[in-house]
A and B are shown apart, each in its own frame.
Chain A
Amino acid sequence: MAGTDLLGNFAILATEPDARFWLGPIPVSDAVITMWVIMAVMILASLLLTRRLERIPASRGQALAEVVVEGLLGLVSQQMDGQRARRYVPLLGTVFLFILISNFSGMLPGAGMLPGFLPPTSVWGVTLGLAVVIAVSVQIFGIQTKGLAHFRHLFQPLFLAPIMFILGIVEELVRPFSLSVRLFANVYAGETLLSRLLESIPYGLPLLIMGLELILGAIQALIFTLLSTLYIASATAED
């Protein structure tokens, strides 16, 4: 049992061993290929849907795009006021849409089986990357809004400053970890369960599990985005 090599196990979890091809020194694996496909789909969709914008939507494409954008704005506006929401909704909305599409892509036929097709969020490296982006962005937005006073929460009760400082740093470091593991574990557990089920009971039950996975995938995308919104809102709150 290779149980004690934690760093090696982390490497197994955070990356994929098989590279389909190499771009110079950089391995390109299945999840990366699927990520590029999802990016292409999102970019193409947003380009096509916004070709001829009119004040009152004349095409169904623009109406659909407006529904999506207003939904995302509403989600973010629950935590912060309208002006701040408009500043940060591009990042948060993109994160939400990417995680949603990626989770749903696990239900498409061939996910994990076809060469080059692996839902990106079922790899810890991808979700950790997303969470690190969010964590770094929180610090950057906080400094943008409040300058160096953003770090004041680390020294709040002055006589306990060293302890609070360490606790604050630890909490900031744990955030991307828990954010990423929550999403990764949900998606990975679902994918593994599905693949094992399809080997043993291929009829009926996998359909129910797929339905459950659709719901859970949407919920996990929502949770990731909501928590990121909360972090950004608390970091940029003008008090």
Chain B
Amino acid sequence: MEAIGALGLFGALAVIAIAAAAIGSATSQSRAAVAAFDALWRQPEAGGTIQTSLILTLAFMEALTLFVFLLIFMLSGTIAGAS
């Protein structure tokens, strides 16, 4: 419990940052997925290309969220855990 007091403002902002990144990532990824599903029912024979493009696009958005996660760790000074 004392760890929460020690993290303080940085901890609160970190939580907000990651939550915001998660919201942004989820919203944009869902839009990309909807577009991919639309393309899929319109033209099922392009399934392989659509699948590959969808995975690629999702990975870009996921990477942005992970950048935030990584930045939090860099700023908090530790990567392997408590201190």
Contacts from A to B (Cβ < 8 Å)? 1-3, 5-6, 9-10, 12-13, 78, 178, 181-182, 184-186, 188-189, 192, 196, 219-220, 222-223, 226-227
Contact = CB atoms under 8 A, between A and B. Distances in A.
Contact of B77 (A2, A78, A184, A189): A2
Contacts of B81: 192, 196
A181 B66 contact: yes
Interface of B: 10, 49, 52, 55-56, 59, 62-63, 66-67, 69-70, 73-81
Given A3-B10, A226-B56, A178 B63 contact: yes
B77 A182 contact: no
Question: Which label, helix, strand, loop or mixed, suits the secondary structure of the A interface?
Answer: helix
Nearest to B53: A226
B74 A182 contact: no
8 tightest CB-CB pairs across the interface, nearest first? A185-B66, A2-B77, A182-B63, A223-B59, A9-B74, A3-B75, A185-B70, A3-B77
Contacts of A189: 66, 69
Contacts of A184: 70
Contacts of A219: 55, 59
B74 A220 contact: no
B74 A10 contact: yes
A76 B80 CA distance: 36
B77 A5 contact: yes
B66 A182 contact: yes
Given A222-B55, A223-B55, A223-B59, A181 B67 contact: yes
Nearest to B49: A78
